[in-house]
Amino acid sequence: MIKISPSILSCDFSRLGYDVEMAEKGGAEYLHIDVMDGLFVPNISIGSCVQKSIRNQSKMVFDTHLMIVDPIRYIDDFYKAGSDIITIHYEACKNVEETLEKIRSLGIKAGLSIKPKTPVSDIKHLEGKFDMLLIMSVEPGFGGQSFIPESLEKIKEARELFPTLDIEVDGGINENNINAVVKSGANILVAGSAVFGKEDIPSAIATLRNNAEA
Ligand code: DX5
Ligand code: ZN
């Protein structure tokens, strides 16, 4: 069973509530919330107050992706704002294990993310300490970039190393490449522009799901 996680980074923020409602209506299981600090990545996006403002209107799994330096500082805030999964970057932590433990201590899932240039083998030693691996298939920082083709090999490698783990892929996923991403071993698919960049959000999600499962 695959899960679709629309990224609100590509929403029209003047009608965020409506876009989120359409994603849920379209059957998205997860909602991907991209948090950027202008340091770990060159862009600044949104903070926990925005996440909090949409929490009560949705039952989707809130999948928070922290692209911030030293993310342990903000885990409590996002937990309070309703995250079900908090994903941190391997490259951004002073102490990765402590950060993952902190997330799990709150009773929610801990995700570990790696940027395109970080090999999967770098995180093998952390097996059992996180609940989801997030493989970035673009350089983090912006929506609407093109999928890096070499990511497919990396997903396959990750699936071999972690046969039963949730593997999420984020960046440049669209109706044309989603099938290859799933066949390579991913089971949670983030999509920003391929969902919120479309006029009909539920039908965009349906197309992604159909192609993913084809
Ligand atoms: C990029 C973000 C992604 C992004 C995906 O740094 O982590 O979640 O919003 O957007 P698309 O699907 O348009 O690449
Ligand atoms: Zn993301």
Task: Kindly indicate the confidence band of residue 148, based on its pLDDT and cuts at 50, 70 and 90.
Answer: very high
Amino acid 138: pLDDT: 99
The average pLDDT across 157-161 equals: 98
Mean pLDDT of the chain: 98
63 C-alpha to ligand 2 centroid (Å): 9
What are the tens digits of pLDDT across the range 12-26? 999 999 999 999 999
- Residue 173: pLDDT band (50, 70, 90) is very high
Within 6 A (CB) of ligand 1 lie 7, 9-10, 32, 34, 65, 138, 140-141, 143-145, 170-173, 190-194
Q: Which atom of ligand 1 is nearest to the CA of 65?
A: 7
Distance 116 CA to ligand 1 centre (A): 13
Catalytic residue among 19, 34, 37, 63: 34
Q: What is the DSSP string of the chain?
A: --EEEEBGGGS-GGGHHHHHHHHHHTT-SEEEEEEEBSSSSS-B---HHHHHHHHTT--SEEEEEEESSSGGGGHHHHHHTT-SEEEEEGGG-S-HHHHHHHHHHTTSEEEEEE-TTS-GGGGGGGTTS-SEEEEESS-TT-SSPPP-TTHHHHHHHHHHHSTTSEEEEESS--TTTHHHHHHTT--EEEESHHHHTSS-HHHHHHHHHHHHH-
Q: 170 catalytic, yes or no?
A: yes
Query: What is the 198 CA–ligand 1 centroid distance (Å)?
Result: 15
Report pTM: 0.98
| Confidence tier at 74 by pLDDT (50, 70, 90) | very high
* Ligand whose nearest atom lies closest to the CA of 45: 1
Q: So what's the pLDDT on residue 168?
A: 99
pLDDT, tens digit (0-9, with 9 covering 90-100), for 94-136: 999 999 999 999 999 999 999 999 999 999 999 999 999 999 9
